Structure 1
């Protein structure tokens, strides 16, 4: 794919291969067959944005192996520019992630990326700084701060942007990547002055702020200086807070198959709403429906909905509400 002079979205962070079981309701030792998909939060968010017609690029790295080749191929097939995804020849392999599927709300995950992963080896010197500076939205994740040199690369990217609008931190907390919750909280606190939008689940926001209540957690983030705090509450809906506005929306009931990709679909849809200048209520409704659609499907990246699919479900809900 030809690199764009400017992208709607540039994301930096995790990429790898998801190996999802085709037998559900059983533990991994009982699973017989798997199917592989592109995975990793940053990659999934770029795919989700691309499905909404946005120009998206990923800054990351893979190993020089078959799974790395698969990642590059899938990114391109799913509409994401892979020009800034490095191939590290003398390093760890492309990571793989397994999960168990126990709908509606139990999806244990095992990520094989020890002691490190290629995406954590991205250096400040390797960054496409002009691309990052000119992106309309720059998306980063808390996981990217868990190791060096990735942490230094994130700082260099943020400094290049100078806290330009829509510099996003996705809290994307995975306990296995951190020595403790306090270490993750410390990294997030360090990052907040560089970003103006924070998005995370209620559980992730609690890790970062110490507040179990989603509204108090969002308020703590806004009080720390971010312009917009968004709490994705999954089936319970979403909440967004700015210095002068609070918006909450309900969740959308669906038959859950695999909830692991819902937050990434929410993120890609959030990007669309921000760039289109939608009001917060419309943006949250749209993002919540996008997340619900993915949770009703097995895969994550390949399941990201189009704008038309989200609008169709929104229309169905509005018709049903009118009928009531």
Structure 2
């Protein structure tokens, strides 16, 4: 562990590292808060949902996918969520065990609460994804679910914006961020804006901005930073300003045009790796896992962003999200076989 911490200091400038809080990433122990559920992929790949006669079941949900991505990279990953107390919830628990994701902070909800279900296609174009979120179990997360957690046992808390969409889970998420900051560990946010989960653009923007201001690392796309700004066209300026307001690292993703990463004294433009995409889903979760694991391993900021981009390129070329997440060896091999991406 001491060697990892020294590597982190050597690999990051003080400006990019954001001080001692981000040094805790070298512990390589992550708490991830948010959605877990079941994904049903129309099978075989290329089949449209309305024509399918069979489906392949996988673990899904943004937080669960990030947790799997980190575990595949050798990190210790623990999930904070709620699942339904039924067969689908038990499927998710078994999948978390299979991937080596800790679930001591996963609670079961009864009644009408149900684990999320996504019915998805493996198609590069016109990919349909139908997500069932009525009375979602993960949104029943309560403040009591995070009060008993000792955040000092971890190096970072990762939250997804989806968890902020309803009052109960919103309060629990904001409390988790505050407790993590009080414990001196890094706080990380994937804005993960899903319009269907929110009453309005304005409410989503205000709540997500409140959470972002509690975070050391913020990752989102152009629309999501526009959400934080209050106007879609002001996203880039907002991403830049969040560092001035106190964030250590802000990653502004631009899809096929790469990303711009802001830190205290630097601005880094990066491209994306070429790949033959089978589907568009899972890229953001893979990016987060690869990016954070690289920072935890002491890689410089630019290399960490590129490692996240490589993980995203791998995942969109495979079936599923959680099962598509690459191991550290697979990611190393992919990066070694590819030229460094050109900046668009």
Equivalent residues in 2 for 1:158-177 (5 A)? 158-162=177-181, 164-177=184-197
CA contact (8 A) 1:232 1:263 kept: no
**Larger relative contact order, structure 1 or 2 (CA cutoff 8 Å, min sep 6):** 2
TM-score normalised per structure 1: 0.90
Structure 1 stretches of 5 or more lacking a match? 1-5
How big is each residue's C-alpha offset from its partner over 1:125-148, in whole Å with a ceiling of 9 and x where there is no partner? 122643434321100011111102
CA contact (8 A) 2:225 2:235 kept: yes
Q: Is the counterpart of residue 45 in structure 1 residue 56 in structure 2?
A: no
Q: Is the counterpart of residue 267 in structure 1 residue 300 in structure 2?
A: no
How big is each residue's C-alpha offset from its partner over 1:139-160, in whole Å with a ceiling of 9 and x where there is no partner? 0011111102111111221221
Instruction: State the partner residue of 1:118.
Output: 137
Quick one: distance in 1 between partners of 2:337 and 2:240? Answer: 33
Equivalent residues in 2 for 1:44-193 (5 A)? 44-104=65-125, 106-114=126-134, 116-127=135-146, 129-162=148-181, 164-193=184-213
Shift of 1:211: 4.6
Quick one: distance in 2 between partners of 1:165 and 1:85? Answer: 21
Structure 2 stretches of 5 or more lacking a match? 1-26
Change (3 A) 1:21 1:273: same
Quick one: distance in 2 between partners of 1:27 and 1:165? Answer: 44
Q: Of residues 33, 43, 48 in structure 2, which corresponds to 1:22?
A: 43
TM-score normalised per structure 2: 0.85
How big is each residue's C-alpha offset from its partner over 1:54-94, in whole Å with a ceiling of 9 and x where there is no partner? 00000001111111111000001011011111111234122
CA contact (8 A) 1:22 1:34 kept: yes
CA contact (8 A) 2:42 2:48 kept: no
Change (3 A) 1:89 1:225: same
- Partner SS, residue 149 of structure 2: helix
Change (3 A) 1:82 1:278: same
Change (3 A) 1:266 1:135: same
How many residue pairs are counted as aligned between the two chains? 314
Change (3 A) 1:265 1:198: same
CA contact (8 A) 2:217 2:247 kept: yes
CA contact (8 A) 1:192 1:225 kept: no
Quick one: distance in 2 between partners of 1:75 and 1:7? Answer: 18
RMSD: 2.2
Instruction: State the partner residue of 1:197.
Output: 217
Quick one: distance in 2 between partners of 1:70 and 1:298? Answer: 19
Quick one: distance in 2 between partners of 1:84 and 1:7? Answer: 18
